[in-house]
Amino acid sequence: MIEGMTPFFAYVIALGIAAVIPGPGVAAVVGRAMGTGTRASLPFVLGLAFGDVLFLSIAILGLSAVAAAATGVFFVIKIAGGLYLLYLAWGFWTAEATQPDAAEIATKGGWRAAASGLAVTLGNPKTVVFYLALVPNVIDMEAVGVLDWLFLSMLTICTLVAVLMPYAIMASRLRAILVSPTALRKLNRGAAVMIGGAGALILSDAVAE
């Protein structure tokens, strides 16, 4: 059982700083919001957060050595996640210049968005380093109990939503302002570049390993 609240505060601060730094996750969130709006970005952000909870759980269980040994699995996940982001980027690049139907997106794309967010986190090398190398210096993993794990998981989700959703809101407002077909087409292609760039970054990291 972790004693006191100081380790939890330190964890939230470290996670917040790591999350706010632009990387594949932030780029994908911005691109998603530019292309589909704020409402459709929330499941994506939650998918990112659940990926973080998975890595947090691995770190708490002391499975760093197992994770390091399973490089082949992580390589496949990175390739799949990167290719899926490129697929999404192509969809935005070729999409019609219209405002998305929020209700339709929420109904049909929620789980898909969450799965793509999870894939981004699992393929993001920054996340791996944070949870398997940095977090053990902030929290005594051997002292973490079940309630501590639940609390840390909740803090992880809340922190990432609080940090990443403002990116999504700002990107979504840009889409709401631009209503002409030409402007929307440019915005769709800007979203495609952001998402495709995140996918290319993940793929290049996987190939470089």
> Which residues have CB under 8 Å from 1's CB, separation 6+?
143, 145, 147, 148
pLDDT in tens, 183-205: 667 766 776 777 777 778 777 87
Percent of the chain at pLDDT above 70? 77
Mean pLDDT score across all residues of the chain: 76
Is 70 exceeded by the pLDDT of residue 23?
yes
Least confident of 32-46, 80-94, 116-130: 80-94
Q: How confident is the model at residue 45 (pLDDT cuts 50, 70, 90)?
A: very high
Residue 98 pLDDT: 54
DSSP assignment of 17-65 equals HHHHS-SHHHHHHHHHHHHH-HHHHHHHHHHHHHHHHHHHHHHHTT-HH
Is 60 exceeded by the pLDDT of residue 43?
yes
The larger pLDDT score, comparing residue 70 to residue 72, is at: 72
Residue 106 pLDDT: 45
Residue 107 pLDDT: 43
Q: How confident is the model at residue 63 (pLDDT cuts 50, 70, 90)?
A: low
Residue 183 pLDDT: 61
Tokens in use for 111?
């789980």
Is 60 exceeded by the pLDDT of residue 65?
no
Domain ranges of the chain: 25-208
Reported pTM: 0.72
- Length, in residues, of the chain: 209
Q: Shortest CA distance to 161 belongs to which of 2, 7, 25?
A: 25
What is the pLDDT averaged over residues 132-145? Answer: 81
What is the pLDDT averaged over residues 137-151? Answer: 85
First to last CA, the chain: 37
The larger pLDDT score, comparing residue 176 to residue 160, is at: 160
Helix (H, G, I), strand (E, B) or coil at 196: helix
